[in-house]
Amino acid sequence: MKATPPQRRRGPRLVLLALVLCSLLVPLAFLFDRAPSGYVTTDERRRQEVVFHSFDPVVPIGVGGGGGGGAVDPVPVKRAIQDAPRKISNGSSGVPPPQHKQIDRPPLAVSTKPKVLLVPRTEPPKAVKGSTQRTIEVSKDIKRQKKGLKADEVENLKACQLEFGSYCLWSTEYKVIMKDSVVKRLKDQLFLARSYYPSIAKLQGQEALTQEMKQNIQDHERVLSAAAVDADLPSFINKKIEQMERTIARAKSCTVECHNVVRKLRQILDMTDDEAHFHMKQSAFLYNLGSQTLPKTHHCFSMRLTLEYFKSPSLDSDFYPARKFNTPNHRHYVILSKNVLAASVVINSTVINSKEPANNVFHILTDAQNFYGMKYWFARNSYKKAPIHVVNYEEMILDKLPKFITRELYLSEEFRVLIRSTERPTDQTRIEYLSLFSHSHFFIPEIFKDLKKVVVLDDDVVVQRDLSFLWKLDMGDKVNGAVEFCGVRLGQVRNLLGKTKYDPKSCAWMSGVNVINLDKWRKHKVTENYLLLLKQVKKKDEVSLREAAFSLSLLSFQNLIYPLDGRSTLSGLGYDYGIDPEVAQSSAALHYNGNMKPWLELGIPDYKKYWRRFLTREDRFMDECNVNP
């Protein structure tokens, strides 16, 4: 057979080699030559925005149950998801904001208690757009808490607190200082070059300068897309900075129409402000979502307990006889909770500080989802021989009280309240969290028909003193012993209370630690009055039903509140950074009302220690699920 000449075999090899080289070089050329044309070839960009539900700032909404931050609470989670960013317009649907990393600026001036996050001044709209939660707005004359606070700082505080709530305080507490002086210089150069580029591109005979400026803009954008701090910058960055300086100097020497440059500067400035505000909204949304959802570790913990309950059929969780739970002579505590750890801390702190722990009886009302896990936990853990009765609230209502429509378990509802002065608009605005009874609290007398008196504890409460003095109170004809909150009076929220008669000077009150006289409750027919008021409420959905808890709680206990000593229960540990440690240690009970629950990662670190000291840590399920609040 005749062999093929080498020249004829070399041709296909060369072609194949050329194709391979092209396949490698073309993508690289495209990668290094691509230009984000959004800044260069157009004069306008579509504004990046997140569409949130708008609202009337005087309509209240529950931020979550008293333990909603860590409990399995589908309502706040559902609401948070509905308020999530649903549309991000950036030229094409579904595209996130520009890929330039947001660099944290050095910390701004922050005054003392409470801490204030100074943000770029925004327009104070009549109805705040894009907020993650609704607010009760209360006008009241208040004294300036910080004498050195400037007027513009007060305005920034109002805008930030009203729109983003306690996220402003949290973001200041966790502010990270970034070393990015060179990065900021690059951004300033890029900002200036973009403003000159459209005018230079229109000039005749400046094609070379136009191409040079375009190339420098692209190089800066490429560097900034991969650099957040100076340490991320490449070694040749000083050369790029000098090239851009020379290019900008040449652009300034050209005769251009000033109004074009000014218009471009304004356009970029507006775009940057919108971008910053977008990220503030997105961060605040994620913060609130994190405060209203169950952490993964806690979910694992609850599911493991439930599984172990069904794997241990011989477990006798009803160790105490039923009569023990119905004896009126004992001190009965009622806790509404969906969070095992939170409920255990409340019980543990109460019995440890009690002089007669065995005389205390605890009734935990929980939902069907957490009932078995809750039952298993308290069956295998002892709290100084104090009887613990775990009740499936939903099953109880369905079987014994079918006439009541609200069968789902609701925890104490929290409402964010904005308190500001009408006579002194520059005075500081205060944000408070008002915690009130939910719909489920009104059925306690029907569930515990054999009891005459109970103390209702929220699951975000820590007890630090013996509470036996609560059982010795003579409340007369009053029904509910509670700490009054005179920062809100009924006359200030008359638009929320409807046409029902009430005393406009009456103070609101707080849940957390409440002494309930069940005999007087039944005598005054509080539950029946609540059901009558409930019929007048327009219940469009579950959100509106929870909103109604604000007016129903205040009106149902009209003239039936026995004011407790305000020093007995200290509130605000879930949102206020300015609480005096000495005051916290001397209080009989601590109430973590607000978004920053102590079992969450975003809880206020200085206050977590009061909660952690009563946490049961020697448990294998906590180790397996990595639960470490």
**Domain locations in the chain as residue ranges:** 315-624
User: Ranked by mean pLDDT, which of 37-41, 257-261, 409-413 comes out on top?
Assistant: 409-413
Mean pLDDT to the nearest integer, 354-360 = 90
User: Ranked by mean pLDDT, which of 152-166, 476-490, 525-539 comes out on top?
Assistant: 476-490
Give pLDDT, residue 164: 79
Asked whether the beta carbons of 127 and 55 are under 8 A apart, the reply is yes
pLDDT above 90: percentage of residues in the chain: 32
Coil vs helix vs strand at 270 = helix
Higher pLDDT, 619 or 74: 619
Mean pLDDT to the nearest integer, 377-385 = 88
Mean pLDDT to the nearest integer, 534-561 = 86
pTM of the model: 0.68
Burial class (CB in 10 A: 0-12, 13-18, 19+), 55: middle
Alpha-carbon distance of 506 to 504, in angstroms, equals: 6
Give pLDDT, residue 145: 41
Extract the tokens encoding 590. 């601590």
Give pLDDT, residue 144: 39
Mean of the per-residue pLDDT values for the chain?
A: 75
Higher pLDDT, 23 or 189: 189
Q: Which residues, 6 or more positions from 72, have their beta carbon under 8 angstroms from its beta carbon? A: 294, 299, 302, 338, 339, 367, 369, 370
Q: What pLDDT band is residue 138 in, cutting at 50, 70 and 90? A: low
Extract the tokens encoding 587. 């209080």
Give pLDDT, residue 67: 43
Is the pLDDT at 222 greater than 80? The verdict is: yes
Q: What pLDDT band is residue 376 in, cutting at 50, 70 and 90? A: very high
Give pLDDT, residue 573: 92
User: Ranked by mean pLDDT, which of 278-287, 378-387, 583-592 comes out on top?
Assistant: 583-592
Give pLDDT, residue 340: 94
Neighbour tally for 80: CB within 10 Å: 20
pLDDT above 70: percentage of residues in the chain: 71
Mean pLDDT to the nearest integer, 572-587 = 90
Mean pLDDT to the nearest integer, 493-505 = 83
Give pLDDT, residue 318: 55
CATH code for the part of the protein at 315-624: 3.90.550.10
Give pLDDT, residue 26: 52
Alpha-carbon distance of 341 to 344, in angstroms, equals: 5
DSSP element (H, E) containing 561: strand 561-563
Is the pLDDT at 247 greater than 60? The verdict is: yes
Is the pLDDT at 39 greater than 70? The verdict is: no
> What is the torsional sign of CA 238, 243, 246, 248?
negative
Give pLDDT, residue 405: 67
> What are the E-state strand segments in 401-460?
413-420, 430-436, 453-458
Is the pLDDT at 580 greater than 80? The verdict is: yes
Q: Could you tell me which of 1, 126, 158, 156 has the C-alpha nearest to residue 55?
A: 126
Is the pLDDT at 101 greater than 50? The verdict is: no
Q: Could you tell me which of 456, 564, 468, 454 has the C-alpha nearest to residue 519?
A: 454
Q: What pLDDT band is residue 243 in, cutting at 50, 70 and 90? A: very high
Q: Which residues, 6 or more positions from 46, have their beta carbon under 8 angstroms from its beta carbon? A: 89, 90, 91
> What are the E-state strand segments in 50-175?
136-139
Give pLDDT, residue 425: 60
Q: What pLDDT band is residue 20 in, cutting at 50, 70 and 90? A: low
Write down the residue that tokens 């079918």 correspond to. Answer: 402
Q: What pLDDT band is residue 16 in, cutting at 50, 70 and 90? A: low
Q: Which residues, 6 or more positions from 367, have their beta carbon under 8 angstroms from its beta carbon? A: 72, 338, 392, 393, 394, 408, 409
Window from 35-44, 60-69, 224-233, 394-403 with minimum mean pLDDT? 35-44
| pLDDT tens-place string over residues 299-344 | 899 999 999 998 887 665 455 555 567 777 889 999 999 999 999 9
Window from 169-178, 184-193, 274-283, 471-480 with minimum mean pLDDT? 169-178
Mean pLDDT to the nearest integer, 104-133 = 36
Mean pLDDT to the nearest integer, 424-428 = 62
Mean pLDDT to the nearest integer, 480-495 = 89
